[in-house]
Amino acid sequence: MSDTPTPAPVTVESIVVSREFNPARSAELAASYPRAVTVNEVFYSVQGEGKRAGDPSVFVRFTGCNMQCDNAPGPRSPGGFKCDTEFESGTRMKLAALLTEVERVLVAASAALPTATRPVWIVFTGGEPGLQLTEHLCAAFRHAGYRLAVETNGSVPLPIHATPPPYAIANDTDLGLHLACSSLDWITVSPKVAEHAIEQLVAHEVKYVRGHGQAIPKTRVVARHYLISPAFNGLTIDRAAADWCTKLVLANAPWGLSVQLHKGMLGLPVR
């Protein structure tokens, strides 16, 4: 018989990332970050769509994207809607300066800063935030007391703090193990590329924007929540798209409907 001990089973608890509230460690990580990031804007608002809709969050919009979404399909566009977000401009800053800016935004909004028992949500968005996110950057935010969400087009893999199990996802437990390896607490994948080109294949939610007549997606992404979001015309919902998407989700469980509340519908800051 072999004296080699049987490896302990992999569990979420065994691979979960450290989220210890440790401002000194956060400052140390920020000071040692080797590069600057380019940020379009930082603002405080309410999450306007998806399963986290309604959660107060600080949005960090990174500059730049590898897609160019338009009504017509093309090499960098899935077609069906035109991107209405300005993310080309930006300011280069050190990670320490970005953490300071997030605190300034919270204070200016009279919002509570994070504590050991009350984290604050950060939403990394863009553009495509995956082009600039790293585990080092995420760790600095985690130790500062933030929970981290991301809105990505799925075209680049997101940072991880541990290697996921080397087997296919067969159930929710397997998905939980893969998600626990992420540097982020909540992953929203909203694909803007062909399915074969998607690199971020696990998520808490996967969300597709759909115009009138577009079919339900055949997604490669494994997620806990599958959502369809009707296209807008600027800040006005496309009624034909909304009616079409409602019919889609009613006929295609487990898909659900996600409407962009932040597009002027609740008077929220519109970005």
In a domain, 56, yes or no: yes
Q: What is the pLDDT of residue 252?
A: 97
In a domain, 203, yes or no: no
- Using a 10 angstrom Cβ sphere, with 0-12 exposed, 13-18 middle and 19 or more buried, the burial of residue 239 is exposed
Contact 178, 165 (CB under 8 A): yes
Q: What is the pLDDT of residue 74?
A: 56
Domain of 139, CATH number, reads: 3.20.20.70
The reported pTM is 0.88
Low-confidence ranges of the chain (pLDDT < 50): 1, 266-271
In a domain, 39, yes or no: yes
In a domain, 148, yes or no: yes
In a domain, 112, yes or no: yes
For the chain, list the strands marked E by DSSP. Answer: 37-46, 56-62, 91-93, 120-125, 146-152, 186-189, 202-210, 222-230, 232-233, 236-237, 255-257
Q: What is the pLDDT of residue 3?
A: 59
Nearest-CA neighbor of 50 among 185, 186, 221? 186
In a domain, 45, yes or no: yes
Identity at 158, one-letter amino acid code: L
Q: What is the pLDDT of residue 208?
A: 95
Domain that holds residue 117: 12-196
The total of structural domains in the chain comes to: 1
Q: Per-residue pLDDT tens for 6-46?
A: 556 677 777 778 889 999 999 999 999 999 999 999 999 99
Direct distance between the N- and C-terminal alpha carbons of the chain, in angstroms, rounded to an integer? 64
Alpha carbons 176 and 187: distance in angstroms, whole number: 12
Q: What is the pLDDT of residue 271?
A: 47
Where b means 16+ CB within 10 Å and e means fewer, 159-194 reads: bbbbebeeeebeeeebbebbbbbbbbbbbbbbbbbe
Identity at 193, one-letter amino acid code: V
3-state SS string for 214-252 = CCCCCCCCEEEEEEEEECEECCEECHHHHHHHHHHHHHC
Q: How far is CA 128 from CA 49, 112, 152, 177, 192, in A?
A: 17, 28, 6, 25, 11
In a domain, 243, yes or no: no
Collapsing DSSP states into helix, strand and coil, what is residue 166?
A: coil
